[in-house]
Structure 1
Amino acid sequence: MNTFKIPIYQPSLGEQEKKNVMECLDSTWISSKGKFIAEFEREFAHYLQVGHAASVCNGTVAIHLALVALGIGKGDEVIVPSLTYIASVNAITYTGATPVFVDSLNDCWQIDPADVEKKITANTKAVMAVHLYGHPCDMDAMTAICRKHNIFLIEDCAEALGTQYKGKHVGTFGDVSTFSFFGNKTITTGEGGMVVTNDQTLHDRLVRFKGQGLAKHREYWHDIIGYNYRMTNICAAIGLAQLQRVEDILARKRKVAKTYEAAFEGTGIVFHKEQGDVVHSYWMCSILVTDETERDDLREVLKAKGVETRPLFYPVHTMPMYAARYERHAIAENLGRRGINLPSYPELTQEQLDYITNIILTYYRERHAS
């Protein structure tokens, strides 16, 4: 039970979600078969304007499934930003491949294309572009690099539903892309994910691997080692209802973000805002404090007043299981030490936003008073 007066996130759920779930219960179609699964996959692909979508049971297995379907395994290298959630990197390790860390860009916090180029070797099989906190990566640069070196481009869009780069949804640039529908994501199924692609053959592989390696035209015949990564009909029922409201959810989250942005303008607090011809979906509204020594102190002040926050992700190359070889990624490390995620859910009221921003601005005035 969340005891915070203002939590970091809470899902936006309505009557249609309840209605769809009750239909599942009444029909007894509650597991990985039922009408809502195919309908959710079809509508999700339509929303993104991508060819195919395969639902899965969570966002982490979505990444693993994408890697497996691409044939990535032992001896391969996958380039990934160090500033990301651990799932992006762990999924690479599950396959036996080696994650190769790269730094971030200071302005948008996304993967640094120049560093990607430097890290490509004969063993590089793919680059994973993670659209961190809802801001897109430089997809012109990423697609050009992958074409140049004939390597796969994977988009981790777990935090980026509704994010656009030059008028196109993220998730439509890569060979394969993944999404998460955890309870704190822009739309949720409770637990769930999606893998999308424009490649029919790759989609067929995704479907076979997620369904225990079941052969397409022979009942109960399994011709590859697969996984039980399927989404339930109940989760898909919630997801379909959520997807029908996605534009309203995104609009309200954007209003929250713009309130924060205006409040912090000219204060020395850096708000994570749009850079270039993009649409930031603002999964998380995030700030950088001016000095890393202020980060935890400010979080404690907010906590004491009932406001939940999170630190930015710790760069993965600094974590014990990935730190055997000492690396420095200076921008990722600096962002990780200075960043705070603020409450970002669509139902935040103006009164709540004023309350949060006033706490932060008062802290800054008092700390930086001459």
Structure 2
Amino acid sequence: MREGGDTTDRVQPTLPVADLSTNPDGTQSAKYKLYWKNLIPIAIFYALPVVQLVFAHQEIFHDNGDEDVCYYNFLCANPLGVLSSFNNFFSNVGYIFLGVLFLFITRREERTYTEKYKDTEQKLGLPRYFGIFYAIGIALIMEGIHSACYHVCPSHGNFQFDTSYMYIMAGLCMLKLYQGRHSDITSSAHVSYTCLALVIFVTVIGVRFETVWFWVIFTILHIVVTLVLSAKIYYVHGISCDVLGESLEGVLECSRPKYPARIFLLAVGILINLGFALYGAIEQPKKFASHLLFTFLTNTLWYTVYYIIMKCRSGERILPKSPRTIVFLVLNAVWVPALYFFVQGLAQWEKTPAESREGNRDCLLFDFYDDHDVWHFLSACGLFFTFMTLLTLDDDVDYNKPRDEIPAF
């Protein structure tokens, strides 16, 4: 995080975006371009062993005839060449296609923004740097590639390949929401990706060593991280109480919330995370990776809701000033049927192969695709509409509202 400047100003109730976007545009643009530039080599180096491993498992499946190696929906596994379930492999094409489409749309938005401000020094709307959006598009493409690789031979040993980029996309979405109004103090690419790598590392540990001690340590870590991040969001990375500990009056002053609306919304987020933490500690679900992923996705959803509520409370109006944002918000309803198909559980690697086959079902669509394939198609659309919502969410202030009149929250 950037530490320069007078942090005490950041706790003023009327802190404008202009105070948190003072760095030169060229410097900031270069900083955020590193998000997609760094993600490309990460994606390449991560993908190579993934492809090698899953096809090695597929060869074992074919050579030994051991159907317990890969967890397919055997009642709707349509083979093609070396692929035993080509339908589960091919249905990931939606992620790749819509990821490429999102990159083209982002490029068009960037060109429009650049043309608008090419010959003017006036600072209107939020500072727009598109590096994180490009990274989101690349992550969506890689989600399709890694999900396809996972479905070459789904198993307990390679489940993280199917979810790694979901963590990355969720993290990038939260970063993008934060970056729009705090461009000077948002984490750099290497810090963000290091944190996301640690999350994936914890996921691997959790899948492999789900012991009581692991859940105790993870629960404590989850609560601490939640409280620290909530404090940073509340105080806008500023030092909120430099007099803390010097006197009783200082302690009492620090205890009085300066931003009641913000603290209420953050308190709800803290309660959500406490709920996930306690559920994990008590129930210790077998699918740790899914538990952590749902925690991430719920936090992303809540932070988006928080952002929209704070926009409205600050006098910004999505309707009628941002009609395309409303359209994309409505289209996010595709997540409802998508989640329905996701929970069908046609093949479950956390069970024995025999128990997993009990959930197998016949094809649902065109006598070729099963319920999980439909999840792939619908979730790809859901992710695309979510990203388009983020891309257009601040249309109502872009190009028409001075930055010193736009609040940071």
User: Which bin holds the TM-score, normalised by the shorter protein?
Assistant: under 0.3
Which structure shows the higher strand fraction?
1
> Normalization by structure 2: what TM-score?
0.26
User: In terms of Rg, which structure is larger?
Assistant: 2
> Normalization by structure 1: what TM-score?
0.28
